[in-house]
Amino acid sequence: MILSFASSGLPGMLLAASSLAALLAYGAVALTPEKGDGARLRGLLVLGWLMHLLALVLDIAGIGATQPGARFGFAPALSMTIWLVLAVYMVESRFVPLPGARRLLAALAATGVLLACAYPGESRPLAVSPWAPLHWVLGLASYGLFGAAVLHAVMLNRAERQMRLKKSGAGQGLAPLGMPLLRLERLTFQFVAAGVVVLSLALLLGWWFTPLWRWDHKNLLSVLGWLVLSGLLTGRRVFGWRGRRATRWLYLGAALLLLAYAGSRFVLEVLLQRAGGTY
C-alpha cells in the first residue's frame, strides 16, 4: 500500500513528519508491556496524541493542497474518532486506573494514522450549507463519545468476568480490576447519554439543511443506530438493563453508526473507487 499525502510543499512535509512521529510514539507505547516506565509511556502517548492532532489538522483542512477546502473521508473520520477516545482516556487515566487500555488504544491510534495517510479522502471546496461544518463536528463528537462508551463497556465486561472468576476460585493472578464496577458502569452510560444528545443534534441539523432528504445507506443506518442507542437508555431507565444485555445494545448501536458513515464511505472510496456523495 502506498501512502498518499494530498498536501504538497512544506505542509506536505510537515504532514508526513507529524504522521511518522505519531506512528513511532504510538508504536513504542503499543509494544511496551503495561508494567513499563509509566511516566515515559505517558510522555510518549501525549507526544503521539499531539502529533496525531497536527496531522489531522493539516490533512482535514487541506493545508497546502492543490484544491482549497476541507478534505474528508472514512479514514480521517476513524482517525479523528480514535484521537477523541484517546483524549478521553488520557484525561480519565489521570484520576482513575484503567488497566489494559493504553496499549490497545495506542495500537488503534497508529492504525488510524496509517489509514488516514493511505486514504485521505476527497476535497470538499464548498459545503452544501453554512451549517454543514457544525453537522460534521457534531457527528465526529458523537463518534468519539460512543467510542469512549464502547471502551468503558469492554472494561466493564472484563471486570465482571474477573469478578465471576475470582468468586469461583479460578481467577488467581488476574490483573487488578481498576475502578469500582458501579462507577465504571455509570461512566459508560454517561458517555452513551451524551453521545445520543450530540447525535440527535447532528441528525436534526443534517435533516434541516439537506434540501432533499434521502433514505440512503448513511441516513438509514444513522437513524437505526440512534434508535438502538436511545432504546438502550430507555431500557436501562425503565427496565434496569445492565451487564451483557446493555453492552450488546451498545455494541450494536455503535456498529450501525460506524457503518453509517465510515462503512459507506469505505465502500465508495476503496471498493468502488468513486468520489462524491453526501458527507
Residue 25 is placed in which grid cell?
A: 510514539
User: pTM of the predicted model, to two decimals?
Assistant: 0.84
Question: Which carries the bigger pLDDT value, residue 61 or residue 199?
Answer: 199
Mean pLDDT check: name the lowest of 3-17, 38-52, 170-184, 223-237: 170-184
Q: Write the secondary structure of 92-157 as one string of H (helix), E (strand) and C (coil).
A: HCCCCCCCCHHHHHHHHHHHHHHHHHHCCCEEECCCCCCCHHHHHHHHHHHHHHHHHHHHHHHHHH
Selection from 111, 86, 85, 98 nearest residue 38 by Cα: 98
Tell me whether residue 277 is in a domain: yes
Mean pLDDT check: name the lowest of 172-181, 209-218, 220-229: 172-181
Question: Which carries the bigger pLDDT value, residue 172 or residue 208?
Answer: 208
Tell me whether residue 188 is in a domain: yes
Buried b (16+ CB within 10 A) or exposed e, 152-182: bbbbbebbbebeeeeeeeeeeeeeebbbeee
What is the rounded CA–CA span in Å between residue 215 and residue 96?
43
Tell me whether residue 221 is in a domain: yes
| pLDDT confidence of residue 174 | 45
pLDDT single digits (tens) 19-76? 999 999 999 999 988 776 678 899 999 999 999 999 998 888 766 566 666 677 888 8
Residues present in the chain in total? 279
pLDDT single digits (tens) 86-135? 999 999 888 777 767 899 999 999 999 999 988 887 776 655 566 677 78
| pLDDT confidence of residue 84 | 95
- What average pLDDT does the chain have? 83
Shared domain for 143 and 62, answered yes or no, is no
Shared domain for 140 and 275, answered yes or no, is yes
Q: How many domains does the chain have?
A: 2
What is the rounded CA–CA span in Å between residue 183 and residue 19?
36
Shared domain for 135 and 201, answered yes or no, is yes
In the chain, pLDDT over 70 holds for what percent of residues? 80
Shared domain for 117 and 70, answered yes or no, is yes
Domain that holds residue 201: 127-166+177-279
Shared domain for 79 and 162, answered yes or no, is no
Which CATH number do you get for residue 153?
1.20.120
Question: Are the beta carbons of 116 and 23 closer than 8 angstroms?
Answer: no
